[in-house]
Amino acid sequence: MDGDLSPQDKKDLDKFIKFFALKTVQVIVQARLGEKICTRSSSSPTGSDWFNLAIKDIPEVTHEAKKALAGQLPGIGRSMCVEISLKTSEGDSMELETWCLEMNEKCDKDIKVSYTVYNRLSVLLKSLLAITRVTPAYKLSRKQGHDYVILYRIYFGEVQLGGLGEGFQTVRVGVVGTPVGTVTLSCAYRTNLAFMSSRQFERSAPIMGIIVDHFVDAPCGNQRPITMGQLCNYRPPDEDDGGAFAGVQDSQEVCTTSFSTSPPSQCVCTLSPSPSKLSKPLPLDSLQLPLAPGLVTHNLYASRLSYQPAPPGGAAEFNTNQVKEGGNVLVPAQPQPPHGADVHLTIENAPNTPSSSGDEDGLLQSGEGRRDDGRRSVSPSDPVESLNAFTRKVGAFVNKPNTQITAASLDLPFAAFAPRGLDSEENDPMVRPPDSPPSQSPLQASLHSQGSDGSGPQDDFVMVDFRPAFSKDDLLPMDLGTFYREFQNPPQLASLSLHTSSQSMADDLDSLPEKLRVYEKNIDEFDAFVDMLQ
């Protein structure tokens, strides 16, 4: 059967089919993430966009697909299937659809591999994009979240449609004839959602405290939650990691196709491999927190189909309980990790996710964690420890230097108004006395505002010796840490406190008729404004 096909053509065809299979899986899984997908057109070929379509590659999905294929290609009797199922928070699961990439014996010998087959596969992928938004599972996947999640499973071999219930429908996405067989892509989807309708939306409130480890040991063998979600905005590709959507994992398998038009009956296609970076495999099976945002193991975020980078507070602090607080967080893009793995996912704020308040909590938490860490490194809670590292400053009017220093205040005139040089590393002339000992460290001096009354000059006193010129009494005895903690929780604004608000409410009510009169007078203006907006 392959006798008529040149070795180069055969090689190309195998490559096309392999990457077609991988891209098919990507399209299907991405369509079930629950987010709108958006990729950018580019007039100049990047060399890594197979079939001339901008389809991002989620590394985990590619990994799963390759694992399922195990080096084989879809062939006769060997189909590649992607099964999409739904799992409720109570643990019930139901298969929704099965996408099958099959090959049958019908060959088209005359077709040009590197041209017609390639273009037809591209059209087939576009059809797949369109059809994945049409089947019933799409709407379900867009609404996933608290009540249920969508899972996917890739398998190779015989197609299994038994789990789809009675009366399932089949839609054929398309076929492409090749010299070795006809590639067929179809979807069988469940129509009987009776199980769903009785249980769905029984709860009105979101389910709190979803146990994340519910999904850690995938109960159905190979099922994987679709956890890598990304919201894709229409942005220039150079904001991504180096601009290349690493569409290809293998080093030699980059597609730069060029087509020839010279004699219309002959189409010559040259495929030239171009260098591409090898990506490191992700540690998928471990529950370790990855070192960088952008790389996440699926197990940790199984509560919904969304991508959550870890809070950057450090690996040690992370535990699975934190996940539920994060919700379906899509955090602003973090700086790329230094190590070589391709970080393909760019994460951004999701304006249309339902629990955006949960996002902020998660963000705040992670932000705070980060700040805490940062602060701790700068101003250790024990001032004594830090001060041993440098020579103490001696104030202008202090009698004797002390060996130990406790929290002392910053003796400044107008201390209440002085900027607390938290992160300023500049020399504050007010802080540093003019005749301080030579080995003082201005950095640490400005960072530590030590408070105490510096009056006792005895050696065994744990007192401050820090008396800058023009000093006056301490106003605020605190160190950097205390300062920060205090000012993080400012007192509530007066206008928001209850007793004043009730008063103002009465005032508001009184002024209402007056306001209404004014508005009615200007009704034309408002109408014009509204028209302008439309």
Partner 1 sequence: MNCRSEVLEVTVEARQVEEATLALLHTILLHRSTGKFHYKKEGTYSIGTVGTQDIDCDFIDFTFVRVSSEELDRVIRKAVSEFKDALSSDGMGQISLEFYQKKKSRWPFSDECIPWEVWSIKVSVVNLANEQERQICREKVGEKLGEKVINVVEVINRHEYLPKMPTQSEVDNVFDTSLKDVQPYLHKITYQITDSLGTSVSTTMRRLIKDTLAL
Binding site for partner 1 (CB under 8 A): 36-46, 49, 52-54, 115, 120, 122-124, 126-127, 129-131, 133-135, 138-139, 142, 171-176, 234, 256-262, 264, 267-268, 270
Q: Tokens at residue 324, please?
A: 């539920």
Measured between alpha carbons, how far is 501 from 509 in angstroms, rounded to an integer?
12
Classify residue 71 by burial, with Cβ atoms within 10 Å: 0-12, 13-18, 19+. exposed
Q: Report d(CA 166, CA 320) in Å as an integer.
A: 39
Shortest Å, Cβ 278 to partner 1: 22
Tokens for 92, please give them. 């019930």
Choose between 51 and 318: whose C-beta lies nearer to partner 1. Answer: 51
Q: Using the minimum distance from each CB to partner 1, give the nearer residue, 144 or 297.
A: 144
Cα–Cα distance, 478 to 47 (Å, whole number): 59
414: number of Cβ within 10 Å: 10
Residue type, 39: T
CB of 328 to partner 1, least distance (A): 18
> Which residue lies nearer to partner 1 by CB, 126 or 324?
126
Distance of closest approach, residue 174 Cβ to partner 1, in angstroms: 3
User: 258 or 458, CB closer to partner 1?
Assistant: 258
CB of 112 to partner 1, least distance (A): 11
CB nearer partner 1, residue 127 or residue 441 = 127
Q: 13-30: buried (b, 16+ CB within 10 Å) or exposed (e) per residue?
A: bebbbbbbbbbbbbbbbb
d(CA 366, CA 477): 29
Handedness of CA 120, 124, 126, 130 (dihedral sign): positive
175 or 218: CB nearest partner 1? 175
* Pick from 275, 238, 279: nearest CA to 42: 238
Element (H, E) at 154: strand 148-157
Question: In b/e form, how buried is each residue of 296-326, taking b as 16+ CB within 10 angstroms?
Answer: bbbbbbbbbbbbbbbbbbeeeebebebbbeb
Compare residues 264 and 490 and give the one whose CB is closer to partner 1: 264
Q: How far is the CB of 52 from partner 1 (least distance, A)?
A: 5
Nearby residues of 420 by Cβ (< 8 Å), 6 or more positions away = 410, 449, 480, 483
Q: Which residue has the tokens 């007078």?
A: 521
Minimum distance from residue 37 beta carbon to partner 1 (Å):
5
For 408: left if phi > 0, alpha if psi spans -120 to 50, otherwise beta; the answer is beta
User: Nearest distance from residue 288's CB to partner 1, in Å?
Assistant: 33
Q: Looking at beta carbons only, is 97 or 479 nearer to partner 1? A: 97
Shortest distance, position 131 Cβ to partner 1, whole Å: 6
**Closer of 274 and 319 to partner 1 (Cβ):** 274
Least distance CB 232 / partner 1 (angstroms): 9
Task: For the CB of residue 228, give the shortest distance to partner 1 in the complex, in Å.
Answer: 17
User: Which is closer to partner 1, CB of 177 or CB of 309?
Assistant: 177
- The DSSP line for 195-241 is HHHHHTT--SSPPPS--GGGTTS-TTTT-EE--------S--GGGSS
